[in-house]
Amino acid sequence: MTIVHLATDTVSVVLDARGGRLPTVVHWGAPLGPLSDEDLATLADTVVGPAANSAVDEPVGVALVPEATAGHPGRPGLRGHRAGQAWVSTFRVADLRVDASSVTVVAEDPYALLHLEITVELTPSGVLRLRSGVANDSDEPYTVDGLEAALPVPAHAVELLDLTGHWARERHPNRHRFGLGTWARESRRGRTGHDATLALLAGTEGFGFRHGEVWGLHVAWSGNHLTYAERLPEGGAALGGGELLASGEVILAPGEEYVSPWLYAAYSGRGIDGFSAAFHAHLRSRPGHPGRPRPVVLNTWEAVYFDHDLDRLRRLADVAARVGVERFVLDDGWFRHRRGDHAGLGDWYVDETVWPDGLGPIVEHVRSLGLAFGLWVEPEMINEDSDLYRAHPDWVLAPGDGSLPPRARHQQVLDLNVPQAYAYVLERLDELLSANDIAFLKWDHNRDLVAAGHAGRSGVHGQTLAVYRLIDELRRRHPGVEIESCSSGGARVDLEILERTDRVWASDSNDALERQTIQRWTALLLPPELVGAHVGPATVHSSWRTQHLSFRYATALFGHFGLEWDISALSDHELDALSAGIAYYHQVRDLLHTGELVRADHPDPSAYVHGMVTRERALFAYVQLTTSERSVPAAMRLPGLDPDARYQLTPVAPVGQPLTMGRAGPEWEPRVLTGRALAEVGVRPPLLAPEQAWLVEVNIMTG
């Protein structure tokens, strides 16, 4: 066999496939440059440590799918059995296919009668992804309890960072030491989850946004899943993850195969921003990545809720067109029996009592204004108070004992494992999209899958795959329609749902203070054009905070910008300010949605500094979150610029100046500095009040 070296300018991955067992990972980290076959063999032999006392005689590396029979004392990659037998695997490599950027390993276990295929791909951006498939070669069924990939990290990766949260407070950092033992994050919610970690990172001491080495991974799966970090006393440490299967959920009949989700991973030698840059570049390189300028969205939810009155909605659309909105989205409340959230889910017919002429009048009015029309749906859910449930009470994911799971938001989960239920939802959505000029679906998913069974077994795995098939088929039939992944806000944010959707709704909270952290850490994986970010009303409905327009605007600006607000009630002065803000978004959205995200390691925890940067221009924000312990702000350093270029800095306030504290100080005029001076010394922002943001344009000087 051989040793394989996959490499880009930012990372090297070295796999040792000698000896016939599953390949071990010799190195995943800093680029090693060109290496000869002899160099690779020497490297693979050099990293092998001494055998530990009271351990197996031969030291064991971390295989892509770790096996106990190879001597690995940690978490095994494949767990399963055949009626209690074949409970461990002993795979031997039968074929190894290698090209410049990928490796395919085909292995067989003649004793357990299993066939394993592992795919490893290194993308041009430096993102590594792995996936495995296990097939049953026996005449007897085989139960898969888990199939996970693993990647080693070095001893100097001593800290872990992952994310957690809850509704309206998604994706907050959770940081701790990477000690001995296993740190596992399991999500059993049937969807990605508000509390799910978007990525699990290991790094060197004190790693930050712009410094330190970082190794991290993401499980691309919208159902139950796990990620883990494990450090063994023998010295090995690894990150891993995969789908979290319930007992008996996947039982392979003879000849059947289970394929794991993709495990995405990236290494950065320049802190968290380098990790994010690899993922952003990877996502932007996809053929289906949104290529058109991201339109300004107005969503009607916080403007009208369930009060669907045609004249009121027409007035709202008129004002939206006046201020520069480009997409008008009619939210929950348009279908039969839906006068509140207790009834109607599943009855995907336009409510004749509210819309006697169908959606045509509002769609036509919106389109006449030059706006695209969008619609809210929640196809995976069902209310017990619905015509669909009364006709098909068996179309619900349930434990199988005759009971129903606890209600959440007064709803249950429609079992898309049932072919007739799947066909019904597909037919209703297809008809809606065929009969109306709909450019966008806000696809919601408002509850966890609890005790979610199908035919007596857990139904989450099958439900997740059915949702993927459903969206794929709708996209095939209606290729021009964009889809947003919304799930009580940000509870379904992962790279597999983004293979078939065009953006995510980061949170149901439009509180700009909460959103600053939510968006900051959603950007760990996703570039801003994939993250819906809206300006809501002055008093926030999710927290009852009252916030200045300039702060709400500056927060939403660094995403896929939109509004969720009854702007028809605003004064002319307020509408003029909003129009100016939207016009500015039109000017800078190309920068915001193609530039590189930078997040400064600012010394004051009460403030954030972030920006979007290209070589020629940048837009930075200094965000005062709360009152600082400092009486004057620390310098705002601007990383990511060309150190040798000269740049002009100009403060901008598209919707009005932010509020300042005390004496405002001297007038801040445009000034010119080198990129190196801006990164190392920085500039002083004004003394902002809490919950305020200061925006600065940075443009390269020519001539």
Q: Which residue is associated with the tokens 């100009």?
A: 650
Which residue among 195, 332, 508, 511 is the active-site one? 508
Q: Which residues pair with 262 in a beta bridge?
A: 220
Is-contact 691 628, C-beta < 8 A? no
Is-contact 200 255, C-beta < 8 A? no
Is-contact 671 588, C-beta < 8 A? no
Is-contact 322 569, C-beta < 8 A? no
End-to-end alpha carbon distance in the chain: 58
Q: For 581-691, list the strands marked E by DSSP.
A: 596-599, 607-613, 617-624, 646-652, 671-674
Please give the structure tokens belonging to residue 358.
């169908």
H or E element, residue 4: strand 3-7
Nearest to 14 by CA among 23, 2, 26: 26
Task: Please tell me the distance from the alpha carbon of residue 65 to that of residue 74, in angstroms, as a whole number.
Answer: 11
Q: Which residues pair with 560 in a beta bridge?
A: 532
How many C-beta neighbours within 10 Å does residue 385 have? 16
**What is the DSSP pairing of strand 440-443 with strand 482-485?**
parallel
Residue type, 624: Q
Which residue among 109, 273, 351, 444 is the active-site one? 444
Q: Which residue is associated with the tokens 């509850």?
A: 447
Nearest to 192 by CA among 151, 214, 164: 164
How many C-beta neighbours within 10 Å does residue 148 have? 26
Please give the structure tokens belonging to residue 112.
């357990």
Q: Which residues pair with 375 in a beta bridge?
A: 330, 441
Task: Please tell me the distance from the alpha carbon of residue 537 to that of residue 356, in angstroms, as a whole number.
Answer: 31
Where residue 528 falls (left for φ over 0; alpha for ψ -120 to 50; beta otherwise) is: alpha
Nearest to 327 by CA among 539, 502, 479: 502
Q: Is 109 a catalytic residue?
A: no
In order, the DSSP letters of 166-205 are ETTEEEEEEEEE--SEEEEEEE-SSSS-TT--S-EEEEST
Please give the structure tokens belonging to residue 466.
């059915």
Q: Is 444 a catalytic residue?
A: yes
Residue type, 516: Q
Is-contact 646 701, C-beta < 8 A? yes
Residue type, 30: A
H or E element, residue 263: strand 262-268
Helices 549-557 and 572-594: crossing angle, nearest 10°?
Answer: 20
Task: Please tell me the distance from the alpha carbon of residue 242 to that of residue 23, in angstroms, as a whole number.
Answer: 18
Helices 549-557 and 512-522: crossing angle, nearest 10°?
Answer: 10
Catalytic residues: 444, 508
